[in-house]
Structure 1
Amino acid sequence: MKSSIFGIAIIGTFLFTGCTTSGAFLSANQTLVNLEQANYTITAINVSGYSETAYVLGFSYSTGLTTNTFAAGRVEGTGMLYKEALENLWTNYEKDSGTINGKRLALANVRYDTDILNLIIYTKVMVNVRADVIEFTD
């Protein structure tokens, strides 16, 4: 009897105090930019940004546009995978192409890859965002 109550308490704790996270990088937005005119240049091709996070006692899965994790607790990273990957992309762009301040830049051909490691007691999610950077000239 005591072991059943203890088991239920562990499962209840896991279900009600665990971490869940769901992230997505959806490249659709309300702004429409047509690249039909010659008013831009491609300043960088295939710039990438990376982010990762890890959890204990859980699992992660990806459904295409989103990556989801259900776990007891985070042990690495902030869980803001897509935000951090995009920030890392811009940092990498600035290393090769200079500051982005004052420039009219946009990302084109945005792609993202997710890699997940599930080991029952440990799960790790890695996100890599890649894009081409364009600069508007007029």
Structure 2
Amino acid sequence: MKKLNIIVLFAAVMLTGCSNSGAFLSANQTIVNLNEGNYSIAATNVTGESESAYVFGLSYSTGFTATSFALARVAGSGQMYADALENLWLNYESENGSAANQRLALANVRYDTDILNLIVYSKVRLTVRADIIEFE
């Protein structure tokens, strides 16, 4: 009976954990034509960052997405792209004032990841970088 309890406990530990697969990539796109001259560049090279850390896992990046498989998340919210974009807008507002009621859009959006993989610890840092344009 003791052996069965150990096997069940081992299976439960091995089959639980967390997974994060990153950005929501949609086939729907809005195309903005910037050759009309009806816009100005509000800010360039604005960045936003987020981090997550995991134990007993592995993280990797495939370009647009950063994926983590781990037993447990020990830091960060797990919503790295949403957090990074929120941080980007906070950074923009700290330099340029409120973005509310303005016609702003992100252009030239780039995603960078920095991943540290150790046997028992994995840490992912996501940076979103973009230019912000304002339509007149």
Q: TM-score, normalised by structure 1?
A: 0.89
**Within 2, Cα distance between the matches of 1:130 and 1:28?**
21
Deviation at 1:6, TM superposition (A): 4.2
Other structure's SS at 1:24 match? coil
C-alpha contact (below 8 Å) 1:27/1:110 kept by paired residues: no
**Within 1, Cα distance between the matches of 2:26 and 2:33?**
15
Residue 64 of structure 2: aligned partner: 65
Residue 86 of structure 1: aligned partner: 85
The aligned amino acid for 1:122 is: Y
C-alpha contact (below 8 Å) 1:25/1:65 kept by paired residues: no
Other structure's SS at 1:85 match? helix
**Within 2, Cα distance between the matches of 1:101 and 1:24?**
25
Residue 44 of structure 1: aligned partner: 43
Per-residue CA shift, 1:23-56, capped at 9, x if unaligned? 0264874311110111000010000000001011
Residue 30 of structure 1: aligned partner: 29
Residue 124 of structure 1: aligned partner: 123
**Within 1, Cα distance between the matches of 2:128 and 2:76?**
17
The aligned amino acid for 1:41 is: S
Stretches of 4+ aligned residues off by more than 3 angstroms: 5-9, 25-29
Taking structure 1 as reference, are residues 15 and 127 closer, same or farther at Cα in structure 2, changes over 3 Å only? same
**Within 1, Cα distance between the matches of 2:36 and 2:27?**
21
- The gaps in structure 1 that reach 5 residues or longer are none
Per-residue CA shift, 1:116-137, capped at 9, x if unaligned? 1111111111100000000000
Percent of residue pairs bearing the same amino acid type: 60
- The gaps in structure 2 that reach 5 residues or longer are none
Other structure's SS at 1:20 match? strand
- Please report the RMSD computed on the Cα atoms of aligned residues, expressed in angstroms: 2.1
**Within 1, Cα distance between the matches of 2:28 and 2:12?**
39
The aligned amino acid for 1:95 is: S
